[in-house]
Structure formats: structure tokens, C-alpha cells
Amino acid sequence: MRFSMIQGLILAIASLGPIGAMAGSYDLVIDEQIVNITGKDKKAMTINGQFPGPTLHFREGEDVTINVTNRLDVDSSLHWHGLLLPYQMDGVPGLSFDGIKPGETFSYQFPVKQSGTYWYHSHSGFQEQEGVFGPIVIEAAKREPFKVDREYVVMLSDWSDETGEQIFSNLKAQSDYYNYSQQTVGDFFDDVKASGWGAAFKDRLSWGSMRMMPTDIADVSGYSFLMNGKAPQSNWTALFEKGERIRLRFINGSAMSYFDVRIPGLEMTLVQSDGNNVQPVTVDEFRIAVAETYDVIVRPREDKAFTILAESVARTGYARGTLAPREGMAAEVPELRERPLLTMSDMSMASMGGMDHSNMAGMEGMDHSNMAGMADMKGMDHSNMAGMADMKGMDHSKMPGMENMEGMDHSKMAGMAGMEGMDHSKMMMGASSANSDYAPGSGLAPEAANGGKFLVYADLKAQVPFANYREPDREIELRLTGNMERYFWSINGIKYSDAEPVHLKLGERVRIKFINDTMMMHPMHLHGMWMQLDKGNGRFNPLKHTVNVAPNTTLTVDVPVDALGQWAFHCHLMYHMAAGMFRKVIVEEAVVETAAQ
């Protein structure tokens, strides 16, 4: 009798064990099948027969095993985007492991150490573009600091009738292949009508001198934008009862497309970014960079339908769904807003192609963050630069390289002549919108459709201060660079295949200073470790896995280096990554210096 009691106790303890360290097991099969998303049959890659892949529900604290079987005829992989895990489980072929060969199964096993909204995707070839991606929702171990009645994942993606290989080779062969919004002779005469011959001509000359296009917002067009795998006409619908709090977990799983997201008629209370809780901030609209996630809470108080609208930033289309009290309802879908045009403010000094860079050795030390409008060019006629108020406050003493610029041969700076043609009126308008994430006067800075609050990065303040917040031990400068015309992308002017890895030491805190020398936005993603986005909120700076770096701006993040191994660090625009905007990061044990004597 007594024996059986002990036995029972042992059994009870044994059964408690798995609760302490829960173990979830998941089987995923990557395959190909014909899908019809836009009314046209096309081969897609699927996970467990679904497009996008199924939502994986993990619980914080559990040990998960995910058996991934590859039924494609090429190598595949799955990467758990934003998850903190042993690097061998990170799913990047060539860095974490060898990839999953056709017909083989790889078992990912790792403890889940966090909670929130994340996603997963293939890190092989262009498979993510073709369907190998899905959401991850991790239930928090502790009670969350907000209450909701229901929740939905809203996964945004871009879908092309072409394969990733085709798109990439087209971009390589002709970088403006997909830009069917180029400025025409007709646009020129419209500009003449609006601002006169002189201004219109100067504008064309200034862009022409750089061989750049103000219409170059996104590299790829022809996409259909999907919400949870559904085209706008299929109207993905999320049900609610009026008065309920609904959590929407937005994930941008696109290959190339940023979105501006709004729900006309509803305010959104943003509570989480990249899986981490932030102090609630109420916005009318937000921009979601490729690979970012944002969780918002909405509370419709009326028994009617609301449109969830995600316009692509280049305004080539939108993903759309509906929040509705009943199936089959729809609200008005607003017209696409006007396509943005880049301005001269989006051009960094370095991207001004007309300049002879060989003469610019001394410019290395220049702080581009202070150079919003390039007023520091000594040879320029400052009297023409009415719109450049921000430059007045520039601290030239911080620009050690500037002395050398006086020695620069301005006659060789063909591109600079075009600066006189800057559209100052646009610059002033842009500056008044004062979006701190974009260069003053940038044509890309968004404004809320209803004139209300548009989220900026500075609004993101961590819910709890970061425990290990301190001054960084050192700084690494990463210039985001590229050759638009030939379509290759790089960091510090060097493509992945030619670059040395970035070496970090375990335990150090490294400041990474991104300087965007290109005219495009880049969503920079670090695997395996957080980036603490520095927007001046100190220890409340939020932790993110992906940060958007706008053209001609500098963005700093601090990385608490806390994970050994080899990690990928790259632009999450798929074709930029493929074209070389990628680095391997190696984290090693800090060598403890022993006393010499």
C-alpha cells in the first residue's frame, strides 16, 4: 500500500515534469502545388498544403521540436524570424546548417524564450516569395499588460506571377524593368504648367545628372498584395461583436513591399512591435517595413464593417480585408493615394553619381546624419537654398573630414550642378511634416490619410526598461550602399561574396550605425540577437529584429551581444539580399586577457 503511494507520488512528479518544460512537436512539409490566388492558376510553394503556411502557436517556456520535410526538388530551409535560439537552429543554409536536401527532414529543436508575434520563412533561394512563409504566435508565460477579447493574425505579402528567379534576372538585366511609372514627356509639360519651364527643366537636369529617377520607390511591380494569402477581391474577413477589443497581429511577410496600414474609422492602439511589448500608443496609421511585426488593438463600437487597408508604399496596389460583425460584409475601400516621388533630400552625398568619388577621400569622416540637404558643400550658392533651414544647426566641428572637402575639385562634380534644380517648395512641405524617421524634405515621409497620427519610431517605447541598458562598448558603421543601375547592393560598398564577416564578442554591447547612402528604404534584419533601436528613449528604447533605414538618414541601434555562433545580418528586401546586401556576423567568446607577467 505504502509502496503504491510512493509510486503514485513518483508518477505525479513525473507527470508534472513535462509541464515545467513543456514540449511541443510540429511537423511541417514544404511542397509545391497549383494555387489560384488572383484568378490565375500558378504554381506556389506551400507548407502542409497551405499558402501561406499554417500559424505556429508556441508557448513561452516550452521546448519545441519542428520536423521540416522538404518535398521540393531543390534545397530548402525554414528560418524562425526574430526568435532567440541556438544558431544551428536558425535555418540559414551555409551559416546555421547545410539546408534541407530534397526528400529529407530536418528537426529543429529549441527552447522558446520569448513571446509575441513573429514569423517564419525559407532562407533558400527565392522560396519565401513563392509561398514558404507563415506566422508564429507565442503565448506569453505571464499575463500580458493588455486585455483583448479576440485576436487575429494579419499577414501581408506580395505575390507575383513570375518566379523569384525571373524577377531577379530581369532586375539584373535592366534595373528599371518593373518601373512603369517613369516620368514621360507629358509629365514634363505638366510640370512646366505647374512651375514654369525653368524649374521643370532644372528638375529633369538634376535627376538626369545623377542618373536616378524620382519615381524609383520600389524595384519590383506587378505584385498582387495579399492579406493572409487572400487577394483584395477575396476580402479576408475578421469577425467581431461591437465593443470587443480585437488584437490584430500585423506581419509583413512580403519579399519587397512596404505597406502603410490603416483602418478608416478606427484608431489603433499599438502595443507590440517585433514581438516586444511597447507602451501603448494610439495611431491612425503606421508603416510596416518588410519583415517587421506590429500588434494593434482596435475597439469597434458600431455594428458595421471596417476596411483593413494596407497600401503599398509605391501605391501600386493594396492588400485589403474587413473587420465585420458578420460574414459577407464590406466597407468602402478608399482610393489609392498618390504615388510618392523622391526628392533631392532622399539623395545622400554619396549617391550623387556625378561626383568623382576618387576626389572625396576626405569625406569619410563626414556625419551624413547632419547633412540632410547637403548645404555643407562649400562651393554651393547657399543663397539659393531657402528650404534648408535644418542645416543651420549643423555642427561643422563634428565633421572632421570637411576640411578636405574644400580641396575637392568642384569642377569634377558634374552632379552638383543639378542641385540648383532642387524643388525647394517640396522640401519645405516635406520638412513641415517632420517625420523623424525620414530625411527632412524626403518624398517618402508618410502622412496619415485622415490627417491624424502616423506612427514614428520615436513613439516606440519599451513596456519595461531594458535591464542591461548601458553605453555601447564600441561602434560599427555600416553604410548601406548599392549600384542602382547595375542592380547590385552592398554594405560599405562591398558585396557579401567579397566581404569579411563582422566579428562580435559575447557580452559586449555594440552600437551599429546604419548610414543609408542609397535612395531606397532598407529593412535591416539581424538574426539571433535584438537590436535596441535608439530613438532617444534611453533604456526604454525598443528591442527589434528588423529596422527600417530611410534614404539619406542615419539610424543607430545597440546590439547586446548575447548569442554565440554565426548569424545572418541583411537587408530583408529579398532581391537586395540576393544581390549582396548581406553580412555574416560571428559572435565569439570574449578572450579573457591573462596577466602577462
List residues near another protein by CB under 8 A.
92-94, 99, 123-124, 168-170, 172-174, 177, 180-186, 205, 208-211, 353-354, 414-415, 483, 485-486, 488, 495-498, 578-580, 582
Give percent helix, percent strand, percent coil of the chain, each to the nearest 5: 20, 30, 45
Angle at 236 between CA 115 and CA 179, to 5 degrees: 95
Please count the CA atoms within 13 angstroms of the CA of 211 that sit on its side-chain side.
10
Looking at the Cβ atoms of 318 and 496, the one nearer to another protein is 496
Which CB atom, from 61 or from 415, has the smaller least distance to another protein?
415
Residue 100 and residue 570: Cα distance in Å, rounded?
Answer: 21
Question: Cβ 207 to another protein, closest distance in Å?
Answer: 9
| CB nearer to another protein: pick between 106 and 582 | 582
DSSP class of residue 76 equals: B
Instruction: Cell numbers for 475, please give them.
Output: 561602434
User: Does residue 553 sit in helix, strand or coil?
Assistant: coil
What single-letter amino acid sits at 268?
M
DSSP character at residue 481? E
Nearer to another protein, 96 or 293 (CB): 96
Residue 292's nearest CA partner among 139, 470, 413, 154 is 154
CA distance 483 to 165: 20
CA-closest candidate to residue 520, choices 471, 575, 569, 593: 575
Closer of 113 and 486 to another protein (Cβ): 486
Distance of CA 47 to the CA centre of its chain: 23
The least distance separating another protein from the CB of residue 34, rounded to whole angstroms, comes to: 24
Q: Which is nearer to another protein, 207 or 454 (CB)?
A: 207
Nearest CB to another protein, comparing residues 280 and 354: 354
CB of 251 to another protein, least distance (A): 24
Please tell me the distance from the alpha carbon of residue 493 to that of residue 175, in angstroms, as a whole number: 18
| Shortest Cβ 570–another protein spacing (Å) | 10
Rg of the chain over Cα atoms, rounded to whole angstroms, equals 25
Q: Which is nearer to another protein, 54 or 208 (CB)?
A: 208
Of 167, 169, 145, nearest in space to 158 by CA: 167
54/205 Cα distance (integer angstroms): 51
